[in-house]
């Protein structure tokens, strides 16, 4: 009997795997429903309504300016004007030009596929990564906790082969879930854009960019699942992976972030893992430091910036994966099985 097929069957039959997958899909479905309900298609009636709202807003601003100028002139004539409340010349108080009030400000929210779809790939990647991590940690952690790993090694004494075959089965199962889920995500969000927004200006380059972003999300989920699997194997318990991540996020990330902010460290976000996850998905994250204001020739204040790119994120992911998986393989080979 093939060990790989056996592990695939064991992964698929685990109730935790099924329920975690169903829960993740339900959450993603709710996200799509939320996007559908909070957007609407812009038609001629909506444009006309927005134009009327812009006109009303401009007329209201004109009335307020006239009232304010009248109060200014009255205060100047009576000599009771408070310092700094009114300008030196009340004629300076003028209403905004009509073109300053744009009708676009009053349009309802609409879903433009080209401009908005990229942002929806973040929750998809995050959910797939969460499913992969938890299922991966539980898959091998339960084997250690129940003694199944020891029984399996009596049948197949090659330790590294057994562990890597389990990992291969896990990644295959995750890929079997992630690929159709990603395809459904593309289709469902496209349907939302068709019914509640716009699908205009979609070119081959835009589709290629979205496809590459979706591919990076799949890679992130696979790496996260491998890390969860390796941590649980290293600690021989599911709690090792889950507890380690909770400690890392609560103590290592929130605590470190607060400490760096208190210490006034420039670009404190560059030390936090979520920054690199977002940079991996979006190709680049630009951090800003407003404490270091750089005045331009026109007197404009521009913050100092720092770019975190997907290359930085890929280096961090490769190093982290190599260290954690390498430690799990070393421990599997060197430690006693008992």
Q: Given this model, what pLDDT does residue 210 score?
A: 94
The Cα-based distances of 159 to 153, 163, 168, 291 in angstroms read: 7, 6, 14, 54
Integer Cα distance of 62 and 57 in angstroms? 9
Are 171 and 226 in contact, with CB atoms under 8 Å apart?
yes
Give tens-digit pLDDT for 222-272. Answer: 999 999 899 888 877 666 666 666 666 666 666 666 666 666 677 777 788
Burial 187-208, CB ≥16 within 10 A → b, else e = ebbeebbeebbbeeeeeeeeee
Q: Given this model, what pLDDT does residue 144 score?
A: 72
Nearest CA among 323, 316, 317 for reference residue 222: 317
pLDDT for residue 329 is more than 90: no
The total number of residues written for the chain in this structure: 338
Beta bridge partner(s), residue 287:
306
Judged by average pLDDT, the poorest of 29-33, 220-224, 273-277 is 273-277
Instruction: State the DSSP H helix or E strand holding residue 108, giving kind and residue range, or none if neither.
Output: none
Q: Given this model, what pLDDT does residue 246 score?
A: 65
Token pair 């329920």: residue: 19
Judged by average pLDDT, the poorest of 62-76, 145-159, 270-284 is 145-159
Nearest CA among 325, 277, 302, 300 for reference residue 171: 325
Backbone angles phi, psi at 306, to 5 degrees: -145, 130
- pTM here is 0.81
Enumerate residues 6+ apart whose C-beta is below 8 A from 71: 86
Q: What angle do CA 313, 241, 310 make, to 5 degrees?
A: 5
Q: What is the mean pLDDT of residues 199-214?
A: 92
Q: Given this model, what pLDDT does residue 336 score?
A: 54
Give tens-digit pLDDT for 84-118. Answer: 677 777 778 788 888 888 877 887 888 999 999 99
Please give the structure tokens belonging to residue 163: 């562990």
pLDDT for residue 338 is more than 60: no
Question: What's CA 80's distance to the chain center, in Å?
Answer: 56
Please give the structure tokens belonging to residue 82: 């408070």
Please give the structure tokens belonging to residue 301: 């204040």
pLDDT for residue 298 is more than 60: no
The Cα-based distances of 200 to 139, 194, 311 in angstroms read: 44, 9, 31
298 C-beta neighbours (distance < 10 Å), count: 5
Integer Cα distance of 22 and 4 in angstroms? 24
Enumerate residues 6+ apart whose C-beta is below 8 A from 183: none
Give tens-digit pLDDT for 44-88. Answer: 887 888 888 888 888 888 888 888 888 888 877 777 666 667 777
Integer Cα distance of 71 and 81 in angstroms? 9
Nearest CA among 224, 215, 129, 135 for reference residue 179: 215
Q: Given this model, what pLDDT does residue 323 score?
A: 92
Integer Cα distance of 271 and 167 in angstroms? 30
Nearest CA among 139, 114, 93 for reference residue 242: 139
Q: Given this model, what pLDDT does residue 45 score?
A: 80
Most confident segment among 75-79, 149-153, 271-275, 296-300: 271-275
Give tens-digit pLDDT for 160-175. Answer: 888 899 999 999 999 9
Q: Given this model, what pLDDT does residue 49 score?
A: 85
Integer Cα distance of 277 and 275 in angstroms? 5
């Amino acid at each position: 009997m093939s060990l790989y097929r056996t592990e695939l069957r064991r992964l698929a039959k685990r109730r935790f795997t099924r329920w975690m997958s169903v829960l993740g899909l339900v959450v993603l479905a709710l996200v799509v429903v939320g996007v559908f309900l909070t957007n609407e298609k812009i038609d001629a009636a909506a444009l006309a309504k927005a134009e009327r709202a812009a006109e009303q807003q401009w007329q209201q601003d004109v009335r307020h300016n006239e009232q304010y100028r009248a109060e200014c002139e009255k205060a100047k004539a009576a000599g009771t004007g408070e310092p700094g409340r009114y300008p030196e010349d009340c004629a300076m108080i003028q209403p905004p030009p009509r073109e300053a009030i744009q009708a676009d400000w009053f349009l309802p929210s609409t879903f433009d596929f080209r401009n908005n779809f990229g942002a929806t790939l973040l929750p998809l990647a995050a959910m797939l990564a969460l499913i992969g991590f938890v299922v991966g940690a539980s898959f091998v952690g339960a084997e250690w906790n129940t003694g199944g790993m020891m029984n399996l090694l009596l049948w197949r004494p090659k330790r590294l082969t057994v562990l890597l075959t389990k990992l291969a089965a896990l990644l295959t199962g995750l890929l079997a879930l992630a690929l159709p889920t990603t395809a459904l995500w593309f289709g469902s969000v496209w349907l939302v854009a068709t019914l509640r927004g716009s699908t205009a200006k979609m070119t081959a380059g835009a589709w290629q960019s979205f496809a590459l972003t979706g591919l990076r999300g799949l890679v992130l989920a696979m790496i996260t699942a491998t890390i969860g699997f390796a941590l649980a194997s290293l600690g021989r318990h599911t709690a090792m992976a889950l507890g380690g991540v909770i400690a890392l996020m609560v103590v290592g990330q929130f605590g470190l972030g607060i400490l760096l902010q208190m210490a006034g460290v420039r670009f404190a976000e560059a030390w936090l893992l979520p920054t690199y996850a977002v940079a991996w998905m979006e190709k680049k994250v630009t951090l800003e430091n407003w404490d270091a204001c750089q005045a331009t020739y026109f007197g404009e204040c521009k913050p100092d910036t720092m770019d975190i790119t997907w290359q930085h994120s890929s280096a961090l992911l490769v190093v982290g994966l190599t260290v954690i998986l390498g430690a799990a393989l070393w421990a599997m080979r060197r430690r006693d099985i008992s």
